[in-house]
Chains A and B, each alone.
Chain A
Amino acid sequence: SAVISQKPSRDICQRGTSLTIQCQVDSQVTMMFWYRQQPGQSLTLIATANQGSEATYESGFVIDKFPISRPNLTFSTLTVSNMSPEDSSIYLCSASSVGSYEQYFGPGTRLTVT
């Protein structure tokens, strides 16, 4: 099974600033995903990070607000831009591979925007 790490684990940021979250997988994976979990809520998919091409965003999420990079098969970043208090959430990176049902999650990044 793959092990996923995220940096930072938590942060407190001021409104109007941006934060980049890193996701590192210890083995090559086919798909990487970014989820958001607002306080007391379930997980919502932000986008699928595609290796070597632009990410695929879900309805309600746009590239200007959540730019995503995936330079290779083990690494991805999510940037939360021009933050507001409504962006305070846990951001989770996830990964999976063809032929395996397993869906791994990173430990999450707990973001507070003041």
Chain B
Amino acid sequence: AQKITQTQPGMFVQEKEAVTLDCTYDTSDPSYGLFWYKQPSSGEMIFLIYQGSYDQQNATEGRYSLNFQKARKSANLVISASQLGDSAMYFCAMREGPTGNTGKLIFGQGTTLQVKP
């Protein structure tokens, strides 16, 4: 069965430093997508970055990059140059099937990130 694991309940990072949030996944489907979302205290889910299982290169979106290690089944989020506004809950999620399959998302437990000034 598909599963997403985030082993870091909470993380601290100094402002302007980089931080890595861990995510491992388990699936038997060769086609899948991996997502990272940010959830501030307001509760909205903000999409950050996406990695497809067949993508050859690691995804990047501004200060966010995804360290995709397929053999290890890991999809860690790297945030560079942390800002105070990055303090939030971060969720890793997976969707099985190709983009033509608009399947449901399975979420990890989340990691709370606090950025220190």
Contact = CB atoms under 8 A, between A and B. Distances in A.
A103 B43 contact: no
A90 B42 CA distance: 10
Contacts of B110: 42
Interface residues of A, number: 26
B interface, over-half SS: loop
A89 to B, nearest CB: 10
B33 A105 contact: no
Nearest to B42: A107
B20 interface: no
A7 B42 CA distance: 15
B5 to A, nearest CB: 11
Interface in B77-117: 91, 93, 95, 99-100, 102-110
Contacts, number: 56
Given A45-B105, A101-B33, A107 B91 contact: no
Interface residues of B, number: 24
A63 interface: no
Contact of A101 (B42, B99, B106): B99
Interface string A72-114: 0000000000000000001010101111111111111010000
Contacts of A17: none
Dominant SS at the A interface? strand
A37 B89 CA distance: 13
A30 interface: yes
Given A42-B91, A103-B95, A98 B45 contact: no
A13 interface: no
Contact of B91 (A30, A31, A43, A99): A43
Nearest to B110: A42
A30 B43 contact: no
A42 B105 contact: no
Interface of B: 33, 35, 37, 42-45, 47, 50, 52, 91, 93, 95, 99-100, 102-110
In order of increasing CB-CB distance, the 5 nearest A-B pairs are: A105-B45, A31-B102, A108-B43, A96-B102, A43-B107
